[in-house]
């Protein structure tokens, strides 16, 4: 059979349809109450349950995973990158106290590779299921000539919900004297890969398959460590310390949360501070993972820049009332999440400092 003109131009609609045939089964693994309609419609449908909320506010976020994709391409590993994206987006709305409801993905590529597509989507589905978030749709774009062979880009949009009077608003709740608790990251998460690649792969000439003694694994495995989702832990924290309809806004012990992404402590913590407060982060209060030490040493990267580019081993911070911080810390650790007291809130002008 003569191929269609469109397929000859590089866009194989029939292949796309065959690849997507398995989506209903995959998306069913993420099903949750509220999902309506079928896969493949012009839009995903989700009905917000009015019995669960009194004054619901929808919370949304969109993101990608940056040049971490370059590591996945080089290693021919595509099963974790989707989970990275879902977990990143879950964390972004968790800091507001929101429960994730549904997720939509976008995949753009020059030529659709069924095996690669299946692994990426499996990562999306696995992370959505783990976070109680429905994967209700997305878009796969074949754009020949736009991407290098074997490369693609992904992005995702998440939508969650929170009661209006349960929104965590650090600008109203954070006070001088509050304690900063840091939750351990798994590594770089999804930020700083352009610098890491330049230092470790281009300048130092490490190979991704090379085992690095101080890392205890190969460089590629260390760089592909999946972004931690703090969403389930945050929901458990808020249920324990801010029980619904019993704690007035701002009166509970958890005053704010900050997801430590691109910009590190310096750019992310101020997003949840009042103008009259600073946060002081004290180095040495937690073990910095060796991958960051390796980057700093091989690239001769200044310490101040390291703390502004990378999470340095802390993927999320909890700003808590000083009288309840120990209880919050014990609760976090009891759920298997490594965490430490790493700083405090002081008078200032809405900035974060690392000393």
Segment 224-275, tens digit of pLDDT: 999 999 999 999 999 999 876 555 556 789 999 999 999 999 999 999 999 9
Cβ atoms within 10 Å, residue 136: 26
pLDDT bracket for residue 83 (50, 70, 90): very high
| Weakest mean pLDDT among 17-31, 170-184, 203-217 | 17-31
Greater confidence (6 vs 207) lies with 207
CA distances from 169 to 2, 174, 199, 235, 294 (A): 61, 8, 38, 16, 36
pLDDT, tens only, 147-181: 999 999 999 999 999 999 999 999 999 999 999 99
> Residues spanned by CATH 3.30.1330.10 within the chain?
5-166
Is the pLDDT score of 3 beyond 80?
no
Instruction: Give CATH for domain 5-166.
Output: 3.30.1330.10
**CA 56 to chain centroid:** 23
Architecture of domain 170-354: Alpha-Beta Complex (3.90)
> Residues spanned by CATH 3.90.650.10 within the chain?
170-354
Mean pLDDT for the chain overall: 93
């Amino acid at each position: 059979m003569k191929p269609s003109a469109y397929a000859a131009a590089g866009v194989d609609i029939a292949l796309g349809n065959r690849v997507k045939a398995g989506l209903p089964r995959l998306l069913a693994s993420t099903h949750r109450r509220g999902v309506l309609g079928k896969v493949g419609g012009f839009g995903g449908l989700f009905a917000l349950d009015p019995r669960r909320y009194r004054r619901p506010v929808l919370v949304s976020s969109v993101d990608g995973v940056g040049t971490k994709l370059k590591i996945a391409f080089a290693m021919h590993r595509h099963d974790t990158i989707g989970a990275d994206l879902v977990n990143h987006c879950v964390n972004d709305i968790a800091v507001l106290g929101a429960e994730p409801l549904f997720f939509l993905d976008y995949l753009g590529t020059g030529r659709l590779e069924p095996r690669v597509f299946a692994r990426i989507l499996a990562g999306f589905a696995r992370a959505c299921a783990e976070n109680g978030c429905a994967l209700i749709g997305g878009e796969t774009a074949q754009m020949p000539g736009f991407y290098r062979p074997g490369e693609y880009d992904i992005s995702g949009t998440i939508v969650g919900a929170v009661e209006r009077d349960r929104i965590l608003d650090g600008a109203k709740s954070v006070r001088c004297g509050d304690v900063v608790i840091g939750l351990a990251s798994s590594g770089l998460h999804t930020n700083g890969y352009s610098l890491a690649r330049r230092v470790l792969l281009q300048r130092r000439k490490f190979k991704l398959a090379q085992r690095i003694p101080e890392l205890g694994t190969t460089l590629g495995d260390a760089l592909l460590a999946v972004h931690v989702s703090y969403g389930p832990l945050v929901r458990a924290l808020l249920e324990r310390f801010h029980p619904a309809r019993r704690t007035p806004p701002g009166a509970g012990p958890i005053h704010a949360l900050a997801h430590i992404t691109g910009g590190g402590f310096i750019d992310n913590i101020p997003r949840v501070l009042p103008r009259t407060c600073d946060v002081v982060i004290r180095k040495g209060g937690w073990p910095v993972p060796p991958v960051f030490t390796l980057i700093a040493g091989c690239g001769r990267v200044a310490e101040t820049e390291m703390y502004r580019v990378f999470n340095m081993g802390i993927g999320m911070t909890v700003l808590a009332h000083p009288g309840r911080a120990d209880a919050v810390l014990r609760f976090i650790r009891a759920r298997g999440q490594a965490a430490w007291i790493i700083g405090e809130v002081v008078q200032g002008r809405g900035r974060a400092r690392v000393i």
